[in-house]
Structure 1
Amino acid sequence: MKGKITLVTGGARSGKSNYAEKLAKTSVQPVAYLATAIPFDEGMKDRIKKHKASRPSEWTTYEGYKDLYKIVKEIAKEHGTILLDCITIMVTNLMFEHEADWDKISYEAIDKIEEEITNQIMKLIESVRKNNIWCIMVTNEVGMGIVPDNRLSRIYRDIVGRINQIIAKEADEVYFTVSGLPMKLK
């Protein structure tokens, strides 16, 4: 049997994480929570605190955003389910590893950064399949609003949009949340 991937997407405050947690709570296997956020300001620290409080105490939390395929291999030794929250923050962290002038960066450099991120995602997917675990991935749908007025935001929106498409294509199930209501797309 191969691992299972469930993708939960939606807009900001749409109920993505809550729904992903509900799914993970149905698992008969031990659950690991894989957090990709870096607490860089008070707002993010508050969000992390609230997320921690909403999770069952028996879940083990792991943190990281790079080379998650290696973390998945380790987690799989003791856990059958991983809740990864979230892909968009992972992409942000991977993008900002590059000290770039985002207003002047070349398209070739952008393509290289996106290729690195895509490789990280593909290795993550392969690791989930190889280690035969259920991975629930949370991501943001960032492309439903107006075209951003700055280059960095447009680059980010485009990369996240393509990464979400890759994961959705590979996923066994995809849910879209709106106002706390999940809709099954796949």
Structure 2
Amino acid sequence: MSKFILITGGARSGKSRFAEKMAAEQGEKVVYIATAIAFDEGMKDRIKKHQQDRPQIWKTIERYKDFNALKEDRAFIESDCILLDCVTLMVTNLILESNLDFDNCSMEDIDVLEQGIFKEIEILLDITAHHHKDAIIVTNEVGMGLVPAYRMGNIFRDIAGRVNQYIAGRADEVYLTVSGIEMKIK
């Protein structure tokens, strides 16, 4: 039986460090699914630091969608544990690649976008469970901050919040990190 863990918290709260520690405890056959896209110097630096922080023996798969391809990926097939970091970057990437005009799109357009995002999440979770992989998924807590001043920010917050709720509902364990301290909440 595989175990599914969700780790959430604010920006720079220690989520990734805690997730990496948990994954390392699972053994050496860890696959790190990186969802970030290096779109500017700041993101390139963050990605580089994440790469340096994790064990070199881990395999990395750069993917934020099309998770069905994992079924054919040797690193995934041979792994015991996957660590996906992070869901909110995945959601951001999918929102941005939609090319919707967020100032003028309809609620139906947003619903279709959200359904596509949920489909990607479900595929990932189902494949992981079907292949009996322990899964550790990192996400940002988006509901404790400021209300975004623009429509696209509100759409992102709402979709990411609902995705987090769904994932937490399916998880065996959920942890919240605050200032580098982790608390088990489920």
Into which bin does the TM-score normalised by the smaller protein fall?
over 0.9
CA contact (8 A) 2:28 2:57 kept: no
What do residues 131-150 of structure 1 show as CA deviations (whole Å, max 9, x unaligned)?
00011100000111121110
What do residues 116-135 of structure 1 show as CA deviations (whole Å, max 9, x unaligned)?
10111111111111000011
Work out the percentage of aligned pairs sharing the same amino acid.
54
Runs (4+) off by over 4 Å: none
1:61, distance to aligned residue in structure 2 (A) = 0.9
SS at match of 1:182: strand
**Number of the residue aligned with 1:43:** 42
SS at match of 2:103: coil
Q: Which amino acid aligns with 1:174?
A: V
CA contact (8 A) 1:6 1:136 kept: yes
CA distance in 1, matches of 2:35, 2:68: 13
1:11, distance to aligned residue in structure 2 (A) = 0.2
1:68, distance to aligned residue in structure 2 (A) = 2.0
What do residues 13-35 of structure 1 show as CA deviations (whole Å, max 9, x unaligned)?
00000000000010135111110
Mapped pair 1:110 → 2:107 = no
Structure 2 CA distance for partners of 1:104 and 1:158, relative to 1, 3 Å: same
Structure 2 CA distance for partners of 1:43 and 1:160, relative to 1, 3 Å: same
**Number of the residue aligned with 2:152:** 152
SS at match of 1:77: helix
**Number of the residue aligned with 2:66:** 67
CA distance in 2, matches of 1:110, 1:151: 11
Higher mean alpha-carbon deviation, 68-77 vs 104-113, is at 68-77
CA contact (8 A) 1:94 1:117 kept: yes
SS at match of 2:97: coil
CA distance in 2, matches of 1:94, 1:53: 26
Match runs of 1:82-93 below 5 Å:
82-93=82-93
Mapped pair 1:138 → 2:138 = yes
Over aligned residue pairs, what C-alpha RMSD do you find?
1.2
Q: Any stretches of 5+ residues in structure 2 without a counterpart?
A: none
Q: Any stretches of 5+ residues in structure 1 without a counterpart?
A: none
Structure 2 CA distance for partners of 1:143 and 1:185, relative to 1, 3 Å: same
CA distance in 1, matches of 2:21, 2:41: 27
CA contact (8 A) 1:9 1:176 kept: yes
Q: Which amino acid aligns with 2:43?
A: M
CA distance in 1, matches of 2:71, 2:91: 17
Higher mean alpha-carbon deviation, 28-37 vs 42-51, is at 28-37
Q: TM-score, normalised by structure 2?
A: 0.96
